Amino acid sequence: MDSTAAPQTMTAPARIAGLPPAFYRVGAFVISLILVALIILISGASPVTVIGSMVSGAFGNADQIGRVIATLSPLLLCAAGLVYTFNAGLYNLGVEGQITFGAIAATWVLRLLYPEGATASLLPPPLAIALAVVVGGVGGVLWGLLAGALHVYGRISEIFAGLGLNFAATGIAIYLIFGPWKRPGVASLSGTQPFDESLWLGTFGKTEATPVALALGLIALIVTIVVMRNTYFGLRLRAVGRNLRAAYVLGVPARRQLLSAFFICGLFAGIAGALQVVGVFHRLIPNISSNLGFLGLLVVMLVNFDPLWILPVAFFFSALNVGSLQLPLSLGLESSLSGVIQGLLVLFALLGRGLAQKYGRKPEG
């Protein structure tokens, strides 16, 4: 019998294993770009033309740049808040509801302080706006803690609890818009009666971008970076997220950490909702969140829960959202094409990360 062993055929996973982790991430990104180009070609357009149109739609003039910044500000708040829940091992899909309930709370305060037709209040407009933002944050906290309590004490998956509370918050907003807070004489999907201009946040020039909203978004992001990288609280949060049972055995108050994550995420999301009211729409509308919560989920997953990379990725998606509005005008394409592009980029980024973790070369030592 021949003692020489026949060469074994390597399987596909064996052939791609052991490469640097960056290889998988870059390879997945390149594949996603190729697929995006193919989809654009199938749509009957040139990829170069589509990219040029979207860049022009996002940065063509001051108004468009202002829209990008106006989208970026609440997106930074949502993404920063989601870093806490993701690091705690929680998929907080209820962030949309927390934005909406924060907007409802902010609208309630402004309507209380400035009833329709009133020209004066006990508080001057700047203080009224500040109070609305604070109460909006409190509203987001309450909605976030409700999802947290259902998960921690009711043993309900945070995914199902969050999605259910999203529907509930949207239902409450629609009820208020068509019921107690409807416009004089008629209820409209366009929202409640707009607030007086004195209750609008100031903007950069005549654009939609507000310096207060941008400052709050950047502050939330900076605080999150410091907390997650340099504090004992951040360390314990990551410990709970990696192994809840082991963290509990080692004396980490797991329930408190989980509820704290929901608290902080709800706070940031509620502030984002309040800013949508006082800085963007100046009233409560049914889709006040503008799906920024779900977009924040994609941003945080794309950066692998590391807040250090949130700003550039969030800026990219903000520009993509605003730039896509130009596609129907200049090329006759659906603006939803940007959603396809976003989805592919995120899907393959997550695929690349997964392959890097499973097959990537482990550091020596």
pLDDT in tens, 274-293: 999 999 999 999 999 988 99
Domain ranges of the chain: 60-302
Please give the Cα distance from 109 to 123 (Å, whole number).
11
Please say whether the dihedral angle defined by the alpha carbons of residues 309, 266, 87 and 294, taken in this order, is positive or negative.
negative
Model pTM?
A: 0.86
For 18: left if phi > 0, alpha if psi spans -120 to 50, otherwise beta; the answer is left
Q: How many CB atoms lie within 10 A of CB 343?
A: 13
Nearest residue to 48 (alpha-carbon basis) of 59, 39, 37, 38: 37
In the three-class reduction of DSSP (H, G, I as helix; E, B as strand; rest coil), residue 208 is classed as coil
Chain centroid to Cα 361, Å, comes to 32
Residue 119 has pLDDT above 70, yes or no: no
**H or E stretch including 110?**
helix 95-113
| % of residues, the chain, pLDDT over 70 | 88
Average pLDDT over residues 103-132: 86
What is the reported pLDDT for 219?
A: 97
Q: Where is pLDDT greater, at 44 or 226?
A: 226
Over residues 23-35, the pLDDT tens digits come to 877 888 888 888 8
Name the class of domain 60-302: mainly alpha
Residue 272 has pLDDT above 70, yes or no: yes
Over residues 48-81, the pLDDT tens digits come to 888 888 888 888 888 989 999 999 999 999 999 9
Q: What is the mean pLDDT of the chain?
A: 85
Cβ–Cβ under 8 Å, residues 105 and 131: no
Please give the Cα distance from 19 to 273 (Å, whole number).
44
Residue 1: which pLDDT band, with cuts at 50, 70 and 90? Answer: very low
Residue 365 has pLDDT above 50, yes or no: no
Please give the Cα distance from 107 to 103 (Å, whole number).
6
Residue 159 has pLDDT above 50, yes or no: yes
| % of residues, the chain, pLDDT over 90 | 43
Over residues 135-150, the pLDDT tens digits come to 999 999 999 999 999 9
